Structure 1
């Protein structure tokens, strides 16, 4: 799996390294972190400067100085981290990779337009608070 995450290229990376894997993280807004951490961690999400670890094998999701949230501390799985079960493709519509593959295998979908029509994927506007990247 590639470490290239949309927005994490030279213009997207701020150079702040993950405290676990030491790779640069992707800047994310505080509102994204606050929306996605489990409720018990919400008091720790104040302030700016959060980053998302983009290394698929690293358990860290968000970090900001001494504050670290592992993926298990989130309400949703991070789509590009390593998983064995279904992974969200569209957080707004709750569509997983398995659901899309099922539609393709059944023969009802053969294009992005078909998939959008049948699943609602990529039609929402809530990425800031539902997608771990905030995008």
Structure 2
């Protein structure tokens, strides 16, 4: 596979180009993977994803909902609250997400400025 030639021979499925972009944006994958533990409010998700701002979390949860990977159920208050849960598509997305996390753990050095997050299995 010198010079990247081998990558051209890999049979990428046509739909790979349509992978859910919001799901791989910064902050989205930890937010989605925390919902593997079950439905949660944005405060609960924020507690499970250290270092994410309220604004970024709100944006990512909205983008994941628009992409069909999670649902948002609004409980009218007072106070007004939202709970998020993975859809069947979101649950299915956890499979390649877990594979990507294993690959990254084995092949990429840890980033010195970012805390290590727990994996989907709860292991650091």
TM range (shorter): under 0.3
Q: Tell me which protein shows more helix as a share of its residues.
A: 2
TM-score (norm 1): 0.26
Larger Rg: 2
